[in-house]
Every structure is written in structure tokens, then in C-alpha cells.
A and B are shown apart, each in its own frame.
Chain A
Amino acid sequence: MLEKRGLTALEVHPFTPIEVVDRLRKSGIKIRIGQLPWYENRIVKTEKEISHITEVQNHMEDVLDLVQKRLRRASIKNGFIMEKGKTLTSEGLRSFIELELFRRGCASYDTIVSSGAQSAIPHHVGVGPLRANTSIIFDIYPYSRKTGYFSDMTRTFCKGDPPTLFVKMYEAVLAGQEKGIGMIRAGVDGKDIHVAIEELFAKAGFKTDLVKGRGFIHGTGHGLGLLCHEPPARINEGSYILKNGLVTSVEPGLYDPGNKLGVRTEDLVQVTKTGCWNLTKYPKQLKDIIIP
């Protein structure tokens, strides 16, 4: 096909297996490795794509509502959350969330349901009994089995009495997220948003220490669409200028392994020329996430 068109060189997608590239080179074709984004337009989401993402988001919010209702009905015994005489576990709630999503036409794997010390490790999926009077992080990222589009949301709850430090961390994270969302618009550098949130955290007494895994130890957001993490993988990496139409998460978090606490709040937004649309409607004020 190349010969017929008078070509001797081929640009290959960067995910092409080396074995395939080798075979093509041996057949005499000059190979150049292409760059991402392969299709620039894939970053800019159409109205139809947004409706696919919000459909998944709505299902996820319905399911998290069911979880919150279960937590409201639950009791506390010896610092653990109890339901009908049994301890509620990360595994039990994860299965519940994933089954309910499946019933709604979505698939979800490795949903994070982590409490206490586990919540201080951002990607700890959560195992064992769920603890009361501390953080419980729910990070859910299902996709539609019909359209393939993802959504992604994180909420941090506390069943029982929240420690003073938790409240301080939560208020800082919420303020950081509001700061970040307020800065988002086409043409803004993602790195500037990340730095502004870091500075807000530092002023609130939460300096980041990457070596100790304390503070704001991950990125501010990532692109999302047909993959949960699609380009841009980190809006704050290097210098990434936000594009009109991009869908990105905004997910600041604070982690304190010494005090066994973690807080993260994640919304999805679509970047516009003048700001952004928040695609996440689930409540996140302090009064909404403390469950008596």
C-alpha cells in the first residue's frame, strides 16, 4: 500500500509493539514513532460524548447515594461500622457498588473504598473492616458497557464524629478544589492551577512532603473519555495548556500517614473558553459527608 502511493516511510502509533516495528523495519520501511495525541480532536469532547459521560456519572451518583443511605442506617461498635450485626467491610461495599453499577449498564473494577490508615495511601483499594470516626474514601470510575465512556468521582465520608484534623483537612481540600475549578478555562496552564492549590494547602498548614508521602502528593487532574486516564495524563505535568472542550478531573487531596487520614474530592469538568462546566453534581460540603 505504501509502494503504490510512492511512500517509503511510515509513522507508527507510539503504542505499537516493538516486535511489529522491528518486522516493518526489516521489510525496508523507514519508521518514525508518532506522538500523542494521535488525534487532536479526541481531546475535545463533543456534546454526544459529554452525554455519554454524564449518563455514567448519573448512575454513579445514584449508587453512591445508596451507599450513603446504608452508612446512615449503620451503627458504630468499637470504632467499626456495623450493619445488621455484621462489620461493614471495604470488600463488601466495593462489591455492592460494582454490582449496582453493573445493573445500570456500567462496569467498574477496583473501586476504592478505603478507611483510616488506608485512606492516607491514595491508591490503596481498601481491605477489611471499615472504621468509624475517620476518613472513608470512595473513588469510583466506571464505564458504560454500551458506549465505552468513563466517568470518575471521589468523595470522602466520615461515619461518626470526625477528628478535628479531618475537618481541617477536608475544608482545605474543598477550598483547594474550588480554587482549581475557579481557575480552569481554555488557555490556562494546568501547572499554574496545581501550584495555586499547593500554595493554598501550605497556607492552611499542609505542606507537601513527597518523600514522606504527606500533603498533596499527586496530580491535580487527568483527561477522561474512552479511558479513565487519557491524554493529558496529568494536566499539571510540564506545562499543559487547557484546551476548550477537554474533560478533566479536578481532584486535590491531602494525605497524612502519621495521623492515618486521607481526604480527596474529585469532580469532572469540561473546559470552556470562559471557565468550565462541572459535570459532577454529588454533594460535597462538610455537612453532606459527615454521616451521624
Chain B
Amino acid sequence: MSIKRARLIYGATYMAETINMDLFWLVRMPLPDPHFFLEFARENGRWDRFLLVGSLEFTRAKLEAKNCQVLNAESYFKKVG
């Protein structure tokens, strides 16, 4: 199934300048630091959603984050720089 479109939210969900309640509405997890959240639209209308979190939040995100796959962001941060 090919991917048609990619979208990005960069934000926190709680008590931060970069608060983004669209992110909170979807993942339902309080994140006091900004994180990358990527969504890829499939041709069938479904979305693949990924929350990239660092070591600080990884374990909690695996337990609490809804509607997405949680990835450890450390390797991606190294690529982006």
C-alpha cells in the first residue's frame, strides 16, 4: 500500500510554550517537552502514526500514548542533527 501524504506535529501537550492540543487529543498523553509526531496517509484512507520520543519519555509513552506507535527518537535525532 503506497503512502500518499506525510504530516508532522512538533509540540508538547502540557504546560509548555509549544503546547499542541491536536497532539494531546490524539495521543492523550501529557508531554511537557516538544516531540515529533509523524503521520502517513495510506491510499485506503488509513493513517500510520508515529510518536518519536527520547529516552526520558520512551517507557512512559509505550504505556500511555494512544492511537500511535511509539519509536525511540535517539537514532532519528542523530540523523537530523
B50 touches A1 (CB 8 A): yes
In the complex, how many residues of chain B place their beta carbon closer than 8 angstroms to a beta carbon of chain A? 22
- Nearest CB in chain B: distance from A148 CB, A: 7
B26 contact set on A, CB distance < 8 A: 39
A84 on the interface (CB 8 Å rule)? no
B6 touches A7 (CB 8 A): yes
A227 contact set on B, CB distance < 8 A: 21
* CB-CB nearest in chain A for B48: A5
A10 on the interface (CB 8 Å rule)? yes
Residues from 1 to 35 in A contacting B, C-beta threshold 8 Å: 1-2, 5-7, 9-13, 15-17, 20, 23-24, 27, 34
B22 touches A42 (CB 8 A): yes
B6 touches A13 (CB 8 A): no
A226 on the interface (CB 8 Å rule)? yes
Q: Which of A17, A23, A226 contacts B18 (CB 8 A)?
A: A17
A230 on the interface (CB 8 Å rule)? yes
State in angstroms the CA–CA spacing of A39 and B24 once bound together: 11
- Nearest CB in chain B: distance from A268 CB, A: 18
A15 touches B11 (CB 8 A): yes
B2 contact set on A, CB distance < 8 A: 6
With A6-B2, A17-B18 given, is the CB distance from A38 to B9 under 8 Å?
yes
B38 on the interface (CB 8 Å rule)? yes
State in angstroms the CA–CA spacing of A5 and B25 once bound together: 26
Residues from 5 to 52 in B contacting A, C-beta threshold 8 Å: 5-11, 18, 20-22, 24-26, 38, 40, 50
A17 contact set on B, CB distance < 8 A: 10, 18
Chain A interface size band reads: 20 to 34
* CB-CB nearest in chain B for A230: B21
* CB-CB nearest in chain B for A16: B10
Q: Which of A11, A27, A42 contacts B6 (CB 8 A)?
A: A11
State in angstroms the CA–CA spacing of A230 and B22 once bound together: 10
A12 touches B3 (CB 8 A): no
* CB-CB nearest in chain B for A2: B6
Q: Which of A27, A34, A42 contacts B7 (CB 8 A)?
A: A34
B8 touches A10 (CB 8 A): yes
- Nearest CB in chain B: distance from A17 CB, A: 7
Q: Which of A9, A10, A27, A226 contacts B21 (CB 8 A)?
A: A226
Residues from 219 to 240 in A contacting B, C-beta threshold 8 Å: 225-227, 230
B38 contact set on A, CB distance < 8 A: 1
B63 on the interface (CB 8 Å rule)? no
State in angstroms the CA–CA spacing of A225 and B3 once bound together: 31
Residues from 25 to 58 in A contacting B, C-beta threshold 8 Å: 27, 34, 37-39, 42
State in angstroms the CA–CA spacing of A42 and B80 once bound together: 31
B76 contact set on A, CB distance < 8 A: 1
With A5-B3, A15-B20 given, is the CB distance from A42 to B50 under 8 Å?
no
Other than A16-B8, A27-B81, give 7 A-B pairs with Cβ distance below 8 A.
A1-B38, A2-B6, A7-B3, A13-B20, A16-B9, A39-B25, A230-B21
5 pairs of A and B residues whose beta carbons are closest in the complex? A38-B22, A5-B3, A13-B9, A226-B21, A11-B7
22 contacts between A and B (CB under 8 A): A1-B38, A1-B50, A5-B3, A5-B40, A7-B3, A7-B6, A10-B7, A11-B6, A11-B7, A13-B8, A13-B10, A13-B20, A15-B11, A15-B18, A15-B20, A16-B10, A17-B10, A27-B81, A34-B7, A38-B9, A39-B26, A148-B24
